[in-house]
Amino acid sequence: MSILNLAIGLSGLMLCLMGFLQVRIGTRTDKTTERYFLQIYLILFCFTGANLAGQLMRGHPGIGYRAALYISNFVEFLAPMILVYTVTVYLLSRVDPEREKSSLRTLLLALLLGHGILLVVSQFTGLYYVIDEGNVYHRSEAYALSYLIPLVMMGTDVHLLYEGSARLSEKETLAFSLYFAIPIAAMMLQLFIYGISVIVFSSVIAAFVMFIFVVSDQTERYARQVEENAALQVEIMLSQIRPHFLFNTLGAIRRLCRSDPEAREAVGRFSTYLRGNMDSLAHREPVAFSVELDHTKAYLDLEKLRFGDELTVVYDLETTEFLIPTLTLQPLVENAVVHGVRAKESGTGTVTVATREKDDRFEISVSDDGPGFEPGRKPEDGRSHIGLENVRERVRRLSGGELLIDSAPGRGSRVTIVLPKERDHADIRH
């Protein structure tokens, strides 16, 4: 029995240490959860350590051992109550974040204080336990009363959990339910089993199980939040119809309407471009490259209206039968026109759109013969390459691909989207 208790104590200390380290460096939890679980594992460490120390010192004569036994027993009886109180306050923070039940917390604190006072009385009267002349621990006839206040507090916790379950996820509800159920069952069992530290072992296991469920729940919540944020970011990016381009285009069309019969065709191209933007808002999944290409061509046709022969567009398309995240090609082409061709002193140049099919991927490149830039350097005008970064992020999230930039001052730029074939979600070949 002594060997079993020593094994329980050492196992408990190891689990507490593992849990403490896991909270500190191994998991992604909110600050409230991290703070409370650090407290829980610290209390459990003291509880288990006091029990283990008591096991080692019992039966050794001497005043020093006797004093140490009284201290270890006091800690062993008080720690579970502090533990229950800490878990209760943590539960309150989850189900009652507005602190409307602050009076309940005060009541539980009073119960904890009352339990501590009774333990002090027991040290001198032997109410719960006595230590004989040989420094051997014995239960008193009123030992069962030491469970009364903890059971009242845990009963309050069960009621609080039932009342506030609507604020908790299923995993959180299960985590707290198991934490309360396991120690309550252990208390009942400990009344009939003498000499084996059932409560110590059950408390450590209950805390460990609760921690696993809570961490799993918060990890899932974090993943969902990241996904929702990414979806929102995509929607925001898709909804960005650049006002300056719209105004410039409308200005060009207005001038054409005065004297040029091409105005009707220009309006049609502009409508095609706007329709492409609007249709993109309805697509979160990748679309056929031909759809994205049509939208890009509508944009380039409009730019040709403005700049005429100053802008040359070349299409070098080896394949068009693959999927691509919507509104990823057009921003690259716009970047090549605005920051490439039009940034040259002459304002003239060529934009080339090319596609290539490899064994394991598709490559889409947009190149220009503009002034180029250093990819890792902040632009001199203070503007960031936010358009490129947005495309990079969307390609990564939606297709598992990557965006590569090949540029240097004085030799133009090439931006390449690489899309792995295994992420091509639909067969669009005819």
Mean pLDDT across the stretch 389-413?
88
CA dihedral 327, 328, 332, 335 (to 10 degrees): 50
Helix, strand, or coil here: 346? coil
379 phi and psi angles, rounded to 5 deg: -60, 150
How many C-beta neighbours within 10 Å does residue 111 have?
20
CB-based contact 143:129 (threshold 8 Å): yes
Q: How far, in Å, are 31, 153, 214, 379 from residue 89 at the CA level?
A: 15, 11, 15, 52
How many C-beta neighbours within 10 Å does residue 401 have?
24
Encode pLDDT of 126-161 as tens digits: 888 888 888 888 888 888 888 888 888 888 888 888
110/130 Cα distance (integer angstroms): 26
Same domain for 297 and 203: no
**404 lies in a domain?**
yes
Identify the domain boundary among 182, 211, 234: 234
Same domain for 134 and 157: yes
**199 lies in a domain?**
yes
Joined tokens for residue 228: 């929702």
Identify the domain boundary among 234, 251, 274: 234
Edge-to-edge strand order for the sheet containing 413-420? 311-317, 349-357, 361-368, 413-420, 402-407
Same domain for 272 and 229: no
Highest mean pLDDT (candidates 297-306, 359-368, 395-404): 359-368
Identify the domain boundary among 201, 234, 267: 234
Same domain for 268 and 210: no
Joined tokens for residue 244: 């300056």
The pLDDT of residue 392 is above 50: yes
Same domain for 208 and 335: no
Same domain for 294 and 401: yes
351/329 Cα distance (integer angstroms): 13
CA dihedral 200, 198, 5, 67 (to 10 degrees): 60
Closest among 68, 23, 63 to 45, alpha carbons compared: 23
Q: How many domains does the chain have?
A: 2
Helix, strand, or coil here: 72? helix
* pLDDT cut 70: percent of the chain above it: 82
Q: Is the pTM here over 0.85, yes or no?
A: no
Q: Return the pLDDT at 176.
A: 87
The pLDDT of residue 113 is above 60: yes
Parent domain of 152: 2-234
**428 lies in a domain?**
no
Closest among 351, 335, 323 to 388, alpha carbons compared: 335
Question: Which CATH number is 354's domain given?
Answer: 3.30.565.10
Same domain for 273 and 213: no
Encode pLDDT of 326-374 as tens digits: 889 999 999 999 999 999 989 899 999 999 999 999 999 999 999 988 8
As a whole number of Å, the end-to-end CA separation of the chain is 76
289/428 Cα distance (integer angstroms): 10
Same domain for 159 and 53: yes
The pLDDT of residue 214 is above 70: yes
Q: Return the pLDDT at 229.
A: 67
How is residue 372 annotated by DSSP? -
Burial group, residue 295, by CB count within 10 angstroms (0-12, 13-18, 19+): buried
Burial group, residue 243, by CB count within 10 angstroms (0-12, 13-18, 19+): exposed
Q: Per mean pLDDT, which range of 36-50, 74-88, 170-184, 260-274 is the poorest?
A: 260-274
Same domain for 284 and 176: no
Mean pLDDT across the stretch 5-21?
79
Same domain for 412 and 362: yes
Q: What is the pLDDT confidence band of residue 382, given thresholds at 50, 70 and 90? A: very low
**319 lies in a domain?**
yes
Mean pLDDT across the stretch 287-302?
90
Question: Which CATH number is 93's domain given?
Answer: 1.20.1070.10
User: Average per-residue pLDDT in the chain?
Assistant: 81
Q: When comparing pLDDT for 104 and 280, which is higher?
A: 104
Same domain for 284 and 196: no
DSSP H/E element including 139 = strand 137-139
Mean pLDDT across the stretch 371-400?
74
Same domain for 189 and 313: no
**162 lies in a domain?**
yes
**430 lies in a domain?**
no
